[in-house]
Amino acid sequence: MMSTTCKSPRMVMRVAYVVAKESLPEYAHRFSPKKFTQHQLFACLVLKVHMRRDYRGVVALLADAPDLCAVIDLHAVPHFTTLQKAAERLLRSPRVQRLLDATVRRAMKRRRRVRIAAADSSGFDRTHASRYYVWRTKRVGTPAKHLTYRRFPKLGVLCDVASHVILAIFPTRGPTPDVGQLGELMSRRAHGVFMDRMLADAGYDSEANHELLRDDHGIRSIIPPKAGRPRKDNTLPAGKYRRLMAQRFDKEAYNQRAQVETVMSMLKRNLDGCIRARKTWSQRRELVLKALVHNIMIAYWLPRFSTE
């Protein structure tokens, strides 16, 4: 799979503009000022994440680059507060689901069946300070409050291991166990996509998760049965499917789970591993937007994709 590092913000904006047209109405309300469409505002938000800017920074970039505005037919540069309020409105659950469905359709083309999917979660930083600097501040004296924290933004994803396309997004706050979050991921997956096998690490190991995937969705689950205390007498774990995992674990297929780790690495390397927002819901919106931009960048690289 080609890296999603994209050197053309113009094309990323164009793809985001087309995706928004497919999934969102032109205006939020019939009495809206109609100065900017929701499609244009979403494209500006995508540019913000793609270029690693804040709201003021992306507004300054648009003011200095008229060619970026021309890509989405933007005749005036929106105020940074307009983009901030647009993020609150556009990145809510129903709209996010429609945007995710559109990005998955663009990235996967006519393919609707995923042979192997994988689930995982990862935490994101709340500061750009290096880990070494944070460690030194702890040793030298009392660390600054903005450098150390007990809670952090956390993103759970479900992805196609063949294409690295994100199929489901679940933003939350860590540290939290993964075992109870698989149901949320399955309920938020892209519509019209069918999965044959699901890979997940031992953090998702539970009989309930196996039953959810196998009995409710008809997906073959592959999760190592390592939850709980080690068994000294080599007895099999309790539960029908966890016992099956212990007896006939498909290690060759499970090795593909590393691809979801690659997706997390792509998110952090290409789109920054630090979350700029400080409030919980703002952090969740930023995580969701990162995942959508990731899919848009993959769609940009597909050879058959054309926005003309």
Calculate the average pLDDT of the chain.
Answer: 89
For the segment 102-150, what is each residue's pLDDT rounded down to a tens digit?
999 999 988 999 999 999 999 998 877 777 777 777 766 665 555 666 7
pLDDT number for residue 3: 42
What does the pLDDT average to over 178-205?
Answer: 95
Residue 302's pLDDT band (boundaries 50, 70, 90)? low
* C-alpha closest to that of 205 among 168, 253, 252, 237: 237
Q: What percent of the chain has pLDDT over 90?
A: 75
What does the pLDDT average to over 174-187?
Answer: 94
pLDDT number for residue 6: 45
pLDDT number for residue 237: 85
Establish how many alpha carbons lie within 13 A of residue 87's alpha carbon, considering only the half-sphere containing its beta carbon: 26
What does the pLDDT average to over 78-82?
Answer: 96
pLDDT number for residue 149: 66
For the segment 47-57, what is each residue's pLDDT rounded down to a tens digit?
999 999 999 99
pLDDT number for residue 308: 37
Query: Does residue 157 carry a pLDDT above 50?
Result: yes
Here the tokens at position 303 are: 């050879």
What does the pLDDT average to over 13-37?
Answer: 94
Chain centre distance of CA 102:
14
Pairing mode, strands 166-174 and 194-199? unpaired
Query: Is the overall model pTM greater than 0.85, yes or no?
Result: yes
Query: Does residue 1 carry a pLDDT above 50?
Result: no
Quick one: DSSP state of residue 256? G
Here the tokens at position 265 are: 């690495």
For the segment 212-244, what is each residue's pLDDT rounded down to a tens digit?
999 999 999 999 998 877 776 778 888 899 999
